Each structure stands twice: as structure tokens, then as C-alpha cells.
């Protein structure tokens, strides 16, 4: 008796998807193995530490809104930084944005960013990489002392909802 081979209409992919070890099953196991590798290698601790550093960086700046054009806040900022005797550094300004970078005697970077927001100017001030609130507030007081005082309304920007 002659053995006749039956022709199969199934493709290889059809047989594979019916198998217990199909693609979605293998994908799930791959994720489980990768997660185990991450937890055992210390990458999770690194990610948590990176998240904490990112949070510290994000909360290190102080922001204020002033009802003055960028030019007035620019002039007041330069006068305040000169009064504090911070050496001149990078200064860039156009009609809508400005950026001033100076350094303290201890080497901490003072970064001031100005941005036009309609009739207001948003001032963002950061001292050092993770922020120094006390020094930032002292610099802000100096800047506010040099601003034109007619109907000065300071609006504090709330950073918690970002």
C-alpha cells in the first residue's frame, strides 16, 4: 500500500497561532523576564533616583508675573544684578523673550528667563541646578525694587499643577 501525503491548506502561521506558545503568550513572558531583570539589576533604583532628581530640578525655580513689558523687567533685572555685583555673563534679548546668566562668588549659576505673556512678563529665576529659594527670593526683591512702582501687581505662579 502506497502512503499518500495529504495536502494541508494550513499555513505555518495558522499552525503557530493555534499552538500554546503563540505570539501574545511569548510577548507576555518576555515582559515578565525583562521586568525581573530590571528589578534585579538596580535599574529601578536608578529610575526612582532620577525621578527624585527631576522633581527637585522642576521645583527649584521661582516664577513671577509682572504687569510690565519685557524691556522694563529686563532693565530692572540688569540693575538688580549689577547692584548685587554679580559678574556679567550671557545676555540675550528680543521683543518677546530674554535670558540672563550670571554667577555668584561661590560659583552658583543665576539664570533669569523673561517671556512676554500678553501685557504681562513672566520672570523665571533659578539659582544653581536644583535651586536656592532664599537667594532667589532675595534677587527677586531687588528686581522688584527697580521696577516702575505705579500699580505694581505681582502675581505668583503656582507650580503645583504642572
The residue with greater pLDDT, 14 or 75, is 75
The residue with greater pLDDT, 55 or 72, is 72
pLDDT in tens, 60-80: 688 899 999 999 999 999 999
* Residue 41: predicted pLDDT: 61
pLDDT in tens, 100-147: 999 988 888 999 999 999 889 999 999 987 778 889 899 999 999 999
Buried b (16+ CB within 10 A) or exposed e, 11-20: eeeeeeeeee
Amino acid at each position: 500500500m502506497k502512503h499518500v501525503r495529504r495536502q494541508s491548506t494550513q499555513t505555518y502561521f495558522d499552525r503557530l497561532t493555534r499552538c500554546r506558545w503563540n505570539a501574545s503568550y511569548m510577548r507576555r513572558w518576555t515582559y515578565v523576564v525583562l521586568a525581573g531583570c530590571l528589578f534585579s539589576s538596580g535599574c529601578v533604583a536608578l529610575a526612582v533616583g532620577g525621578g527624585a532628581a527631576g522633581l527637585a530640578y522642576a521645583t527649584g525655580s521661582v516664577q513671577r508675573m509682572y504687569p510690565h513689558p519685557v524691556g522694563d523687567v529686563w532693565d530692572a533685572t540688569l540693575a538688580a544684578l549689577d547692584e548685587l555685583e554679580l559678574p556679567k555673563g550671557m545676555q540675550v534679548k528680543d521683543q518677546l523673550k530674554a535670558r540672563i546668566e550670571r554667577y555668584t562668588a561661590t560659583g552658583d549659576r543665576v539664570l533669569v528667563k523673561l517671556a512676554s505673556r500678553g501685557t504681562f512678563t513672566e520672570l523665571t529665576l533659578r539659582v544653581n541646578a536644583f535651586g536656592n529659594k532664599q537667594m532667589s527670593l532675595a534677587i527677586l526683591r531687588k528686581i522688584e525694587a527697580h521696577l516702575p512702582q505705579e500699580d505694581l501687581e505681582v502675581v505668583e505662579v503656582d507650580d503645583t499643577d504642572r
